[in-house]
Structure 1
Amino acid sequence: MTSSPTRTSPPSAPTRTTPFEPSLDARLAATDAAMTLALEEAAVAYEVRTAHIPTTPLDLAAVITVPFTPAPQPPPDPHPTPVAALLQRAHHRLLTDGWCKHMLVDELGAHCLYGAVRAEAHGDHALESRGLEVLMDVITRDFGEGIDSVPGFNDAWGDGRIPMRTLDRAVRLADARSL
């Protein structure tokens, strides 16, 4: 009697009861591919629909009629008090010539806060001193006691927006104090 080997059938793979759900990355990639295809089709359709329209190159000189550089603004009416007028002139100088830091005047003619006040004082050291005093009052009031000088405040900024706003506030404070 020979025994025959018994064969067992391989285990069957488990059947899925839920449908396959692609991952979020797969769904995003499929959506991206579909959108790219739709945009390419729309671009081709636009080219086909507008191919018959004649076009001529645009001459920019005929379109642009304003000067490329802004016209210089006239200085504002001066304040009646000397310190307010000095600070106002310094503010106007910064607006027209530009703002800089780490030097009184840079190679392009831009000034720092201190340099603008000094230039507009025209050698009147008492007027310059009073203007810088009012400016320092505003700096201390707005930014605290940690700032020791106008140049130190000026050099702490990356652009002139805050220093110029502070100088404008100093103009109003000097005017309010009738200086």
Structure 2
Amino acid sequence: MPTTHTQSAPTLPTTTPAVLSLESRLAAVEAAMTVALDEAAVAYEVRTAHIQIDPVDLADILTVPLTPTLQPTTPHGSPVAALLQRARQRLLTDGWCAGSQIREDGARCLYGAIRVEAAGDRSLEARGLEVLMDAIRADFTDADSVPVFNDRWADGRVPMRMLGQAAALADNRGQ
């Protein structure tokens, strides 16, 4: 009969691991975390270096509530300022649109809102449009007219903000 030799695994000397104090273990974990966070910060900088950030106008980010408040605002004392304020309120309640004076659902453009709130008073309408154009040109020097300015926007935030600024301008002028 053949003899079989079985080999056993070599036995390694057993040593007890070094016992670290709590402070030593915390220091080791802190060092490892610092290295990991530094590597992550470098990786983030490398991944985002190509991104260009355009300046943000906070007035374009801060929006009006989706449901308009039913509380009327304090009316301006001057007729043009009151007209512009009413036009802004109409856009808040009925909606804003581009490309036409009025849409089937009742939404209006800047010009359409001023026109309906002027109630046929062409002089008041013209003065309101003039003050609105002054307010627009203060921020947007390339604006040709109120309808062209209105139609360049995808939503009504900026046009309604400009109506508010125009109302304040007219009130300051006493118009």
Instruction: Find out whether 1:158 has 2:143 as its counterpart.
Output: no
User: Which amino acid in structure 2 is aligned with residue 172 of structure 1?
Assistant: A
Structure 1 residue 77 displacement after superposition = 2.3
Q: State whether residues 135 and 165 of structure 2, in contact with CA within 8 Å, keep that contact through their aligned partners in structure 1.
A: yes
Structure 1 residue 167 displacement after superposition = 0.7
Q: CA 1:124 to 1:70, structure 2 compared with 1: closer, same or farther past 3 Å?
A: same
Q: Secondary structure at the match of 2:174?
A: coil
Number of residue equivalences: 110
CA distance in 1, matches of 2:68, 2:147: 30
Q: CA 1:126 to 1:73, structure 2 compared with 1: closer, same or farther past 3 Å?
A: same
- The CA RMSD measured in Å over matched residues stands at 1.5
Identity, in percent, stands at 60
Q: Give the unaligned 5+ runs of structure 2.
A: 1-65
CA distance in 1, matches of 2:68, 2:149: 31
**TM-superposition CA deviations, 1:15-41 (whole Å, max 9, x none):** xxxxxxxxxxxxxxxxxxxxxxxxxxx
Structure 1 residue 74 displacement after superposition = 3.2
Using CA pairs under 8 Å that are at least 6 residues apart, name the structure with larger relative contact order, 1 or 2: 2
What residue is the counterpart of 1:117 in the other structure?
114
Q: CA 1:71 to 1:140, structure 2 compared with 1: closer, same or farther past 3 Å?
A: closer
User: Which amino acid in structure 1 is aligned with residue 101 of structure 2?
Assistant: L
Q: Look at both structures and tell me which one has the larger radius of gyration over its CA atoms.
A: 1
Q: Give the unaligned 5+ runs of structure 1.
A: 1-68
What residue is the counterpart of 2:94 in the other structure?
97
Q: Secondary structure at the match of 1:126?
A: helix
Q: State whether residues 68 and 93 of structure 2, in contact with CA within 8 Å, keep that contact through their aligned partners in structure 1.
A: no
Q: CA 1:104 to 1:177, structure 2 compared with 1: closer, same or farther past 3 Å?
A: same
| TM-score, length of structure 1 as denominator length | 0.59
- Moved beyond 3 Å, runs of 4+: 69-72
Instruction: Find out whether 1:85 has 2:82 as its counterpart.
Output: yes
User: Which amino acid in structure 2 is aligned with residue 128 of structure 1?
Assistant: E
Q: CA 1:149 to 1:71, structure 2 compared with 1: closer, same or farther past 3 Å?
A: closer
User: Which amino acid in structure 2 is aligned with residue 151 of structure 1?
Assistant: P
Q: Secondary structure at the match of 1:99?
A: coil
CA distance in 2, matches of 1:70, 1:141: 30
| TM-score, length of structure 2 as denominator length | 0.60
